[in-house]
Amino acid sequence: MYYLDTLNEAQKQAVLTTDGPLLVLAGAGAGKTKTVTHRILHLINQGIPARAIIAITFTNKAAKELRERLHQLLPEGNEPLLATTFHGLGVRILREHGLTIGVPKNFSIYDRGESTDVVKEVLIAQNIDPKKFEPKRFLGAISKAKSDGLMVNDYVPTTYDFFSKLVKPVWEKYENLLRERGGLDFDDLLLKTTILFRERPDILKHYQIKWSHVHIDEYQDTNGIQYELSRQLAGSKQNICVVGDIDQSIYSWRGADFENLLRFERDFDNVKTITLEENYRSTKIILEAANAVIVNNKKRKAKNLFTRGANGEQLTLSAYSTEADEALGIATIIEQLVGEGKVNYKEIALLYRTNFQSRILEEALIKNTIPYILLGTRFYERKEIKDLIAFIKAAINREDWGSIRRVINVPARGIGKTTLIKLAAGQYTELPAGTRQKVDQFYLLLDKIKLLTETSLPSSIIKEVLRLTGLEAELKKGSEDDIDRLENLRELVTVATAYDPHGSDGLFMLLADIALTSDQDDDNGQVDGVKLMTVHAAKGLEFDYVFITGLEQDLFPHAPIGTEERDNEEERRLFYVALTRARKKIYLSYTETRLVFGNRRFNIPSEFLSEIPNHLLTTETNRLSIVDF
């Protein structure tokens, strides 16, 4: 078995364990994909047909990578096995057998946006104001319940406020509309699959026989319904291999429950547990730092990453006076690293806890002509930023129809496409009286904003526009993503403070600079660029040099706007993920003060920094302030 020669002992054990339940605790950079693909190759070589093996991942990208790796390992002509996501699996099963529980064969899949529109339709039909009760909030409650395996008839509110009492009747009408239109939302793809298996054990048995060996990746990220589906597929043979790492569980806000991994050994009989601790990515010093941090978490399976590779360089810690100094300091280091030939731009990553932090980093890179690629949407290209700017542009110039059209129904105020068409055609008088009133209220809002632009400083204008438009109130009551959007808008206030000294000209200077920055933000297909992203977006990636920025208390670890509540263990896992992205070198930084929502805040360094042993750190004295660690 030549293919075992490239595996370490723990990986070999995982590959050779082919019968019964197997739990693989795979540390960061420990070769989990290699282990899974070689295990599947071994199963096939032992006579298990490829069609009898299934591998379930969380992303299409991961499934594609798995298929490509297997294609390289397996001989020509070997039949393909099924590597898919949980949702992709649900679609496949429901297309084949969903009719038995009333799911039409050619059902439509409603994405989150389409599902939100259906909820809004329900609210309007029940005379519930969508401006007071945000459709996305209802959809979030419905989605959470479905992820926990609940049907509408099972739903019992956990609190008895007015909103919670509305969830069940809204959900009932929502389900009726989906059913009438032959549609399933994302959560239905999994929920209805488990219901099918519960109600039709013969169909479940068919799939248990069809897929005799089940593999599930990132098991720590499964929610309640994915957990149930995993157990259903395993059946009585229990030939299930799950791979996961509690230390990299960072998606609880999406419903993931790492307890599923902890209880695996209780769920199945005679579980074999194998820990992959040998890391093939990072230096000894990086791993020692990561281990020292994560050991402070209580809810975890003990493991200690190690490497046979080089010791490597110490982590560099820098304190800066302000966020602008931090961004400029990082840009200077990058110039030195690339100039000395140590690294290419594409092997450098700048990581941050929240999206709003990217803005000042982008500006510093642009100023220093450093090419970069922002994973996600660039700061000034984000929808919420464009919306707020559009309000100001529409107020200043009533002929700017593009801006008016963009925000006339943001937040939702009941002005639809038909109204827009008539307004564009100059047919205001043909609108119904109620619609004319809504349009008039919108233009009154623009009048208020215009007055602000003539009497206030840029930062005050943006603060007031955020309040007057209802954007702030809407986002405050929304999801984690909405809170992130609100932080981006508050960062725009911070941007605007730099233009306050210019008085009445400051706003126009700000608008012009934003337009120019947007043009410069285009990476023009540039591949060799520094990568900017949140730590969440960095999971699964790796780089030679990693900068972890904004390591300040309440920023990382993060406390959402309006609360000091946070899950410190999950925040620590997030920091651990950031540390283990690096192959060669890590730069850590924080600022003594940071401008947040137009106010300069004095910072305490992140508590996570004190968990890294001093002998692993070097401080840059020319940038470090007097802070004692």
pLDDT one-digit tens code per residue, 414-459: 898 899 888 888 898 999 999 999 999 999 999 999 999 999 999 9
Q: What pLDDT, on the 0 to 100 scale, is given for residue 565?
A: 64
Instruction: Give the pLDDT confidence of 327-360 residue by residue, as tens digits.
Output: 999 999 999 999 999 999 999 999 999 988 999 9
Angle formed by the axes of helices 9-16 and 32-45, nearest 10°: 40
Residue predicted with more confidence, 563 or 223: 223
- 352 vs 610: CA distance, rounded Å: 19
The mean pLDDT of 159-183, rounded to a whole number, is 87
Q: Answer yes or no: 32 catalytic.
A: yes
- Both tokens of 401, joined, read 């129809």
Please state which of the ranges 311-315, 465-469, 524-528 shows the lowest mean pLDDT: 524-528
pLDDT higher for 159 or 226?
A: 226
272 near 23, Cβ under 8 Å? yes
187, 218, 387, 474: the catalytic one is: 218
Q: Would you call 179 a catalytic residue per the annotation?
A: no
What six digits make up the tokens of 92?
């496949």
Q: Indicate whether 103 pLDDT > 80.
A: yes
Tell me which residue has tokens 């919108």: 442
Told to judge if 217 belongs to the known catalytic residues of this protein, a careful annotator would answer: yes
Is residue 46 annotated as part of the catalytic site, yes or no?
no
Cα–Cα distance measured from residue 531 to residue 367, given in angstroms and rounded to the nearest whole number: 16
Amino acid in position 10: A
CB atoms within 10 A of CB 190: 25
Average pLDDT over residues 40-54: 92
- Work out the percent of the chain whose per-residue pLDDT is above 90: 58
Q: Are 389 and 511 in contact (CB under 8 A)?
A: yes
Catalytic residue (choose from 13, 17, 18, 33): 33
Please determine, for residue 324, whether its predicted confidence score (pLDDT) is greater than 90: yes
Taking only the tens place, the pLDDT of each residue in 356-401 is: 899 999 999 999 999 999 886 678 888 899 899 999 988 988 877 7
Q: Out of 248, 354, 435, 497, pick the active-site residue.
A: 248
The pLDDT assigned to 173 comes to: 95
Quick: pLDDT tens for 478-507. 877 888 889 999 989 988 998 899 888 888
pLDDT of residue 527: 62
159 is catalytic: no
Mean pLDDT, residues 580-608 taken together: 93
More confident call, 161 vs 410: 410
Mean per-residue pLDDT for 545-561?
A: 91
Catalytic residue among 393, 581, 583, 594: 581
pLDDT, the chain, mean:
88
pLDDT value at 525 more than 60: no
Supply the pLDDT for residue 564: 56
User: Does 159 have pLDDT greater than 80?
Assistant: no
pLDDT tier, 515 (very low <50, low <70, confident <90, very high otherwise): low
- Distance of alpha carbon 230 from alpha carbon 186, whole angstroms: 17
Given the residues 11, 12, 32, 303, the one annotated as active site: 32
The CB density around residue 238, as the number of other CB atoms within 10 Å, is 17
Q: Are 558 and 608 in contact (CB under 8 A)?
A: no
**Catalytic position from the list 175, 188, 217, 245:** 217
The SS3 of residue 276 is strand
Residue 522, pLDDT above cutoff 70: no
pLDDT of 200 over the 70 cut: yes
pLDDT value for 547: 98
Q: How confident is the model at residue 100 (pLDDT cuts 50, 70, 90)?
A: very high
**pLDDT at site 621:** 55
Residues in the chain: 629
The mean per-residue pLDDT over the stretch 219-244 comes to: 92
pLDDT at 262: 87
Examine the residue annotation and report whether 491 is marked as an active-site residue of this protein: no
pLDDT of residue 377: 64
